[in-house]
Amino acid sequence: MKKLEVSDLEKLTFYTDGSSRGNPGPGGFGVIRLNNEFIHILNYLGNDELVERTFVKTAYKEQCENTTNNREELKAVIYVLKLAKEDLSYQYEIFSDSMYVVQICNDWIWKWAANGWIRAKNKPIENLDLIKELYDLLNTEFLMAEIKKCPGHAGVLENELADALATNDMTKYDKLIDKNHIIEEEPFWFDKNFVEKIKKI
The set of catalytic residues is 17-18, 73, 97, 153, 163
Alpha-carbon distance of 8 to 6, in angstroms, equals: 5
Bridge partners of 37?
53
Tell me the longest C-alpha to C-alpha distance in the chain: 72
Bridge partners of 33?
58
Alpha-carbon distance of 104 to 125, in angstroms, equals: 11
Alpha-carbon distance of 105 to 100, in angstroms, equals: 9
3-state helix, strand, coil in the chain (%, to 5): 35, 30, 30
Alpha-carbon distance of 32 to 54, in angstroms, equals: 13
Cβ-contact 72, 127 below 8 angstroms: no
141: helix, strand or coil: coil
68: helix, strand or coil: coil
Bridge partners of 145?
92
